[in-house]
Every structure is written in structure tokens, then in C-alpha cells.
Amino acid sequence: MSRCQDRRGLSALRAAVVDAREQELRRRARAALTGADPFDRTARHGAVASTARVPAVVPVPTVPEHDEALPAPEGETAVAMSLVERAQAGDAEAFGELYDRYVDQVYRYIAYRVGSTQLAEDLASETFLRALRRIGSFTWQGRDIGAWFVTIARNLIADHYKSGRYRLELTTDDVSESGKAPTISGPEAEVLEAMQNKVLLEAIKKLNAEQQECIVLRFLQSLSVSETAEIMGKNEGAIKALQYRAIRTLGRLLPEGVEL
């Protein structure tokens, strides 16, 4: 992932957090005017519901008459799939091109989680070695192969920390050392952006492990909801809810008076 992509991801996250904070302030303001408790769920959703429960209607699943064909890959994804097919046929150069395309994305995902440059490099190398051995098992499921590489990396990280000491680390020092994040130099606007990003990254470290991973995948790795869901083993609705809660929590975690 390029520096520009990384900055765009953090910029999008800052905008989402700002929006969440503004919504929270408006909600509290409305509560102050009406005298309602801003943290009272029943007040937010209207009158208290009756204790009598209406039996849930369970929809009867319908069985499709035939499987829907996956859309054919397009653009860069089509190029990547062409490389995959060549690699599956034994073309080492094609796999090398896949490595060049995705190694930065995989490395950054690992580095954000392990907090060690050396360990991230080792695990990134092992990720692609394992991918090379298993390239024949990859099939097109409508998602970019980058999500498959990240899934392998995620499993390697879990194996590395299987003793239970695992804790997602997201250190700003390693980000700066990697040369991928903006440094405090140059025009005033860039300095301000770097300072805002540092505050935001520190707040992300205080989220729980699932929320951290969701934010890293969605904003810092720029993966889609479906790709994030596949990597985290959840459905898309759960990822959207997890992202929503994480952003709201970030808004509360940021120090008072901090402007994004």
C-alpha cells in the first residue's frame, strides 16, 4: 500500500470519527432540551415496549433453482486472476508478480498487528511461501486474491501468538520507520495531519481486538466489507455493526478538545 493510500485511509477514518462525535453531541443536546437521559435506550426508541412478546415469524428459506454464476473479474482483479492462473500452471514469474503486487499490503497488515519490523518481515515472507505451496487450491469467489493472502497472514499471526499472549499492537513508531506514513516535516498542513494521525492511531490501540482488526482492514488496508468479513470469519452485517461501534468508541476515546 502506498503512502498516499495510507493517508487516504486515515483521512477517511478521521472523517467517520468526526461524524460520529457530531452525532453524539447532537444526541446529548436533544436529551438536554427534553430532559431525557442520553444513555437511556428506551427513551431513544420511544415508549417502553409491552412485556408481552409477539412470536417471531421465522421465514421459510427458499432454495434457488440454480446457482448464480459469479461475476467475471474486471480491471486489476482480472489481471491478478490471470497471474493466479499462470502461477497455478507452474509459472514462477507470475507468482513473483503477485508477490510484488501484494507484499506491501500483507506486510503492513502484519506490522500493524505485531508491532515489530523484523517479525513482520519474517511473517510476510512465510505468508507468501505458504501461499506458493497452496496456490493450486485458490478459486475465484468474487473477491480479490489480496484477501486470501491476508487470511494466510492472519492465521500465521494467530499461530505465532497461540500461547495466549496475543494483543494487537499498532505502534506509530514502526509506522514512521517503515517510511510509509507521513512524517512531521514540510508544510504546516502535513505536520498537522501527521499529529492528527498519531492521536488517532493511539486511540485505535485502546479498542478491543476485534474492533482494532476491523478498523485496520477497512481503513488502513482499504479492504471492502465483504473482504473484511471473509478474513474475520463474520457476515457482512456483523462487520458493518462492528465498524459502527468501533468508530463511535473512537469518538469517545479521543481526548477532549482534539480536532480531527
Q: For residue range 154-196, what is the model confidence (pLDDT) as tens digits? A: 999 888 877 544 444 444 444 444 434 444 345 555 655 666 6
Grid cell 477532549 is found at 256
Considering only residues 250 and 258, tell me which one the structure prediction assigns the higher pLDDT: 250
Whole-number Å distance between alpha carbons of 84 and 11: 33
Decide if pLDDT at 81 tops 70: yes
Considering only residues 215 and 259, tell me which one the structure prediction assigns the higher pLDDT: 215
Is residue 240 within 8 A of residue 225, CB to CB? The reply is yes
Considering only residues 218 and 62, tell me which one the structure prediction assigns the higher pLDDT: 218
**Long-range own/partner contacts, residues 162-168 (CB < 8 A, 24 or more apart):** 166/209, 167/209, 168/112, 168/113, 168/209, 168/212, 168/213, 168/216
Q: Domain boundaries in the chain?
A: 3-16+73-253
**What is residue 34's predicted lDDT score, i.e. its pLDDT?**
63
Q: How confident is the model at residue 258 (pLDDT cuts 50, 70, 90)?
A: low
**What is residue 219's predicted lDDT score, i.e. its pLDDT?**
86
Whole-number Å distance between alpha carbons of 12 and 5: 11
- Cell of residue 109, nine digits: 497488515
**What is residue 27's predicted lDDT score, i.e. its pLDDT?**
72
Considering only residues 33 and 26, tell me which one the structure prediction assigns the higher pLDDT: 26
Query: Around 235, how many Cα atoms within 13 Å sit in the side-chain half-sphere?
Result: 2
Distances 111 to 60, 106, 145, 217, 228 between C-alpha atoms, Å: 45, 9, 20, 12, 17
179: left (phi over 0), alpha (psi -120 to 50) or beta: left
Fold category of 3-16+73-253 in CATH? Rna Polymerase Sigma Factor; Chain: A (1.10.1740)
Q: How confident is the model at residue 49 (pLDDT cuts 50, 70, 90)?
A: very low
- Cell of residue 166, nine digits: 496475543
The answer to which of 91-95, 173-177, 234-238 has the lowest mean pLDDT is: 173-177
Average pLDDT over residues 143-158: 89
The answer to which of 37-41, 104-108, 141-145, 183-187 has the lowest mean pLDDT is: 183-187
Whole-number Å distance between alpha carbons of 17 and 181: 20
3-state secondary structure of 57: coil
User: CA 162: distance to chain centroid?
Assistant: 22
